[in-house]
Amino acid sequence: MIVAERKPITEIREMVEPHESVLIVGCGACVTVCMAGGEKEAELLCSILVLAFKDTGKQFTWDCVERQCEPEFVEPLADKIQANDAVLSMACGAGVQTVVAQFPSIPVYPALNTQFVGRPLEQGLWAETCAGCGNCILHKTGGICPIARCSKSLLNGPCGGSVNGRCEVDPENVECGWQLIYDRLEQAGTLYLLDEIMPPKDWSTSAHGGVRRVIREDVRL
């Protein structure tokens, strides 16, 4: 799922400083699960800002929608939004932009930094696992993504900085992705998959290739 993190309060304060009444909007999807922008976090941020701007007369209220990237869920906020000077969105980038698209005349601020597509390793710890490159090769690398989990996104094995299974970029926290791939393929008895040399990647299908779209003609109304 999408993993995001709340911006530092100091940064959020600066954003809302020029406004007198701000509506904080949470999202019930990914950011709820990664504890960044769900109902609980929205309520909490509201209280934090009330205390931060105590005695200034600024008004802070909060709400939360099912999924902020769907116009149908954002639309019903119309009255509340019109009653405020600004919106502080606690959704991922997609949610923030949906609110802007629905309500173009009100300033919308992102309260989160959207980080990556990832999964929980344990409660409270999420790691990046998918880089959204648009051309998945997980079947060739034992189910471990070399784009997302190798610091250099190498395609044909580790670099010289792989020591004891750790990545030289941050040995304490980062495992060498290619070590993981090798170990997994060895365990599965499919090391022969590494015999195939992968050519230089065509990055046009990834974020580097420009703005992407996915279309399903058969489900369009």
Partner 1 sequence: MGTELKIVAFCCEHSGSLAARMACAGESETSAGTEIVSVPCSGSVQAADILKAFRSGADGVVIVGCHDGSCKHLVGNRRVQRRVEHLAGTLKEIGWNPERVAFFPVSAVEGQLFRDRLAEVVDRLRGLEAGR
Partner 2 sequence: MGHARNRESDGTIKKTSMSRRVLVVGGGVAGIEMALALAELRCDTTLVEQGTSLGGNAGALCSLYGFEQTPEELIGKKVATMRTNPGIRVLFEAAVRDVKGDVGNLHVRIEACGKVHESDFGAIVVATGFDLATGSPVTSGEPTAISCSELERRLAQLRAGNGRGRSNALSVPRNVCFVVEDSGVDSAVHAASALKNALAVQKLPKRNVFLCCQNVNVAGEGLEALYREARASGVVIFKFDGDKPQVAAADRGFNVTVRDASVAANDRCNGLMDLHCDLLVLPERIVPGPHTPYLQKLLRVDVDSSDYFQQNNVWLRPTASNRKGIFFVGGCRGSFDVCDILTEARATALEVYTWIGRDEIPVSVGKVRVDPAKCAVCLTCLRSCPHDAVEIVFDGDIGGKTAHIVESACHACGICVAECPAKAIQMVAADDLQKGMAIKGERRQVEQWVQN
- Work out whether 119 is an interface residue with partner 1 (CB under 8 A): no
Nearest residue (CB) to partner 2, 48 versus 138: 48
CA atoms within 13 A on the CB side of 58: 21
**Integer CA distances (angstroms), 84 to 89, 95, 150, 159, in order:** 13, 19, 45, 53
Which of 33, 94, 131, 198 binds partner 2 (CB under 8 A)? It is 33
E strand or H helix at 141: none
Nearest residue (CB) to partner 2, 40 versus 212: 40
Nearest residue (CB) to partner 1, 10 versus 164: 10
Please give the residues from 8 up to 47 whose contact with partner 1 meets the rule CB under 8 A: 8-10, 13, 40, 43-44, 47
- The strand pair at 108-110 and 112-122 is best described as unpaired
Q: Closest separation between CB of residue 19 and partner 1, Å?
A: 17
Q: Stretches 34-42, 51-59, 135-143, 189-197: which one binds partner 2 (CB under 8 A)? A: 34-42
* Residue 217 token pair: 């003609």
- Work out whether 111 is an interface residue with partner 2 (CB under 8 A): no
Q: Stretches 32-40, 71-79, 183-191, 208-216: which one binds partner 2 (CB under 8 A)? A: 32-40
Binding at 44: pick from partner 2, partner 1, none (beta carbon under 5-8 Å per type): partner 1
Q: Where are the beta strands (DSSP E) in 123-198?
A: 125-130, 162-163, 166-167
Instruction: State the Cα torsion 177-199-197-131 to the nearest 10°.
Output: 20
Q: Using CA atoms, how far apart are residues 55 and 3, in angstroms rounded to an integer?
A: 35
Q: Stretches 3-11, 88-96, 158-166, 204-212: which one binds partner 1 (CB under 8 A)? A: 3-11
